Each structure stands twice: as C-alpha cells, then as structure tokens.
Amino acid sequence: MVQSTCSHAGKSVLTAALLRILRSRGFHAAPFKAQNMALNSAVTRAGHEIGRAQAFQAEAAGIEATSDMNPILLKPTGDSVSQVIIHGKVFASMSAREYHSFKKEAKRFVAESFERLANEYEVIVIEGAGSPAEVNLRDNDIANMGVAEMCDAPVLLAGDIDRGGVFAHLIGTLDLLSPAERERVRGFIINKFRGDIGLLKPGLEFLETRTKKPVLGVVPYFKEMLLPDEDGVALDSNEPAGVSAVTIAVIKLPRISNFTDFDPFRAEGVDLRYIESPSYIEGADAVIIPGTKNTVSDLAWLKDRGFADALRSFRERGGVIFGVCGGFQMLGREVKDPFGVESTKVTEAGLGFLDCVTTILEHKKTFNVRASLEFDGNSFDAAGYEIHMGETTGRLTPFCRISERNGEGAEVLDGGVDGKVYGTYIHGIFDNDAFRRSFLDMLHGQKGLPARALTSFAAKRDEALDAWAALVEKSVKIDEIMKIMGLGLNA
C-alpha cells in the first residue's frame, strides 16, 4: 500500500508506476483505492462511476477498470456534504458527520471489492487517501491504515519534498501512528526532488537513524509526464506553457470536476490556463466552461464574478466558447433544481447563449458512450462518458448523435451549437484525436496559422507513463520493494 504524509504528494502516480513496472515484469496486477474523495471521475464500460485516478491506474496495469478498484467515491457538493457513490452507483448524500458514522457499515463494501480483486489478480497495489495521521478520523478508518490492516498490506510512506519540510512530515506522521501501524510501514519514498542528491544525503541518514526504517528511494520531480492529476490542488501550480500559437482559458469553477478533460491540450503545446477572473479572458482564443459538481451554485458564482458580461463580449468578438456537462448546462437560458438536489434555490438564470433549459433530476446518469459528430466541415466518430443529473431540452442544433451507451445501441441527440458556442454532456471529448485536431485547426485558422499534424494523445500519455515508470524504477530500490511485496528478488 502506498500512503503519504498529505494530499497531492504523488500517491496516484507512484501507484501507477508500480503497476506499470509489475506489468513489464509479467505480473497480473490491479489498483485499489478503498475510499476516494475526488471530483475527477470516470465511467467504466459497465457504466459505473469511479475515481479518474483508478481508471488511469488500470490503464497503467494494462487491464480494464471496474468499480471494485474504487468501491467508495465521495464527490463533494458543498463544504460539508458529499455524494456517496458505492460500487459505481449513487448511494446517498451525507454530511461529514453522517459519513463518519456510516464508515463502519461501509467497511463491508470495501472488503467485498478487495476480495473479488484478490481472487482475480496476482498483485494489488493499494493507494491511500490524504494522510494516515489524521487522528480524529482513525475510528473505522477505511482509507489508510484501516485498509492496510484489513488487507494485511505492508506500507510505503511517501513524502513531497517539493513542498518543504519533508523530514518533519515523515517523522511526524510516523510518530502519530500506533505501534502496530508504525510496524506496518516498511520504508519511505521521497517524491518530487529537485537539486543535488548529495546535499540530501545527511537528511536521509538522519531519517533512517531516527526511525530505524529505510529510505527506499528519492524520485526526481518530473513535470513532463502528462499524467492526470487527481486533486484540484494541481490547478494552483500550473507552470506556464511558454510560447504557444493558441491560448485556451478554462474557468476554474469552485467545484470544478473532471478537469482532466483538458489534459490532451497539454500534449499539443497549447497555452492552457485555469482562470478565476474574467480579466484573464483577454488574449484567449477559446474559453471552456468545465464540468462541476454543483451547476446551480457555480453558475451563480460565475455571474457574480462578472464572467457573464465578459463571455458575452468575447462571443461578440468572435471568440469560441465550449461548455462540457455542467458548463453546457450553464450556456442555456435556465437551470432548474426543483428537488433541491444541488441547492435551496429552485432556479438560476443561465448565460442564454443556447436556447435550452436544464432540470436537475434526482437520479444520476452514467454512461460510457460512442457518438458521431460534424465539426468545422468534418465528420468524426468519438468516444467518452456521461456523468450528469441534469436533463436538457430546447430548440437546439445538436452537437453530436450518441449511438451507444454502456455497450448497447442508442439514439440520443447530445448538446447544442449556436455559431461558435458549443456544448456537450460528453466528458473526454477532447481525448478524441481527430476531433481535437479539428478544434485546434479552427482556432489556428482564425489567426491565419496553418493546420498542424495529428497527435495521438493516448500514445503520448503511454510514452509518458513508460518514461515515468522507468524513472521510478531507476530511482527506488525496486528489488527491496518487490521483496516487501512478497514477490522475491527474482521477480
């Protein structure tokens, strides 16, 4: 099990690297994260919603993602309320206190999923959540040490040195664990290191002497890996893309979800900016309104911030506006919430760019989909997934036609188009290389720039994953880690 001293320390990508290494050595391995709190999610082929990180980890392992890899997914809808998804389907909405009381019951869902995985795979790499040292959450823990104990898994404890204070974080975390939990920790991995390893050695020696546990590796900071981030924290630390022909601004909504939808642009050299002020629309070639876990509240926030007027002016100047899922809903005339699913407010006026109205319903739709669309004079087949509780109706020119949902034939008109305003419910639409290239060619054409060659995002990400796994394998004592996993030195 990979745990860490805090969120965004690299647990997800370290887990993915270990899975890719195991795959390269011939092991049939799978990821497992008992409880995941994230607004980045994916839909399995069976139509089950899981954390996006576990879908990516399954990809790293070369296997198909299932809901057992993330039996409990928490999607925050407010500051202290989350939608609880169990085995891929909505179970309930709970306050933090209600969920804390529910964890004892939830433990059985975790055990069921782990048992099924254990019967199917040779090796399971488990990812923790946040920090195991949250002493107030220790009772009925189903995220960190409680899972390690349930599965009898040895633990690797990772620390993020890029944030500073990594030795205090590692020693302090260990100190707050019970004696049995400390015994379960078999060593440390220091992640995101930049600089001269020689200057770090005194600290490593101190850590090993103080804790009587080995440092199993120091992994360099690797900013070029194009691997998906699970936490919205990542959006706070975007590094400039440098000189770029095209600039795309994504509005960073308070409850932004599935921001990995836009990772493919990172592979294209696009200047991708996450913005919280309408002033940053200036100079953008396209503005994207992303998905959100709370369309009503985030729509009100967007208007309060002045984005409505800024987007209206941007549209009048010929700018391209694209809405995905909740962003698509905001483009309409109105969003209604008659059942109080997201808000106490029954209705919220939309931006009015598309002639449609969305009603938030009580039941969520989760589909893995295939669709056909026409864009900028070209026809495309595309794949992606839907995750939404809203139903949108109106006089719309559809964005695409969905032909398959969860492996079964379907005939559904999706989204809407009005001039250079586009909306769709399909997450992952920009993962489709031919469509993404057409979208970028349109933006290049508006600036009098030539079209560019088609790029395979899946191939680039796979190359990046291979490079990341190779870097991790080189940077850690992999034979010791394999031995800790019970796989022996000759694995």
DSSP 449-490: PPP-----HHHHHHHHHHHHHHHHHHHBTHHHHHHHTT--TT
Structural fold of domain 2-226+462-484: Rossmann fold (3.40.50)
Please report the pLDDT score of residue 240 as a whole number.
Answer: 46
Please report the pLDDT score of residue 231 as a whole number.
Answer: 54
Please report the pLDDT score of residue 160 as a whole number.
Answer: 96
Active-site hit among 8, 48, 87, 427: 427
Catalytic annotation present for 427: yes
Q: Along the chain (491 residues), what's the average pLDDT of each consecutive run of 10 residues?
A: 95 97 97 95 96 96 98 88 96 94 95 98 97 91 96 97 95 97 98 94 97 98 71 51 78 95 91 96 96 96 97 97 98 96 92 98 96 95 97 96 97 97 98 97 93 90 94 97 84 43
Please report the pLDDT score of residue 241 as a whole number.
Answer: 45
Structural fold of domain 246-448: Rossmann fold (3.40.50)
Please report the pLDDT score of residue 342 as a whole number.
Answer: 87
Please report the pLDDT score of residue 489 as a whole number.
Answer: 53
Cα 195 to Cα 21, 94, 214, 242, 467: the distances in Å are 25, 45, 21, 23, 20
Please report the pLDDT score of residue 224 as a whole number.
Answer: 65
Domain with CATH 3.40.50.300 in the chain: 2-226+462-484
**For the whole prediction, is pTM greater than 0.75?**
yes
Instruction: Decide if 478 contacts 14 (C-beta within 8 A).
Output: no
Please report the pLDDT score of residue 225 as a whole number.
Answer: 59
Helix ranges restricted to H, 165-285: 166-175, 179-184, 197-211, 263-266
Please report the pLDDT score of residue 26 as a whole number.
Answer: 96
Provide the 8-state DSSP code for 294: -
Helical (H) or strand (E) element with 373? strand 356-375
- Distance, in Å, from the CA atom of 174 to the CA atom of 439, rounded to the nearest integer, reads 50
Domain with CATH 3.40.50.880 in the chain: 246-448
Structure tokens that stand for 140 in this block: 């009925």
Active-site hit among 325, 356, 388, 400: 325
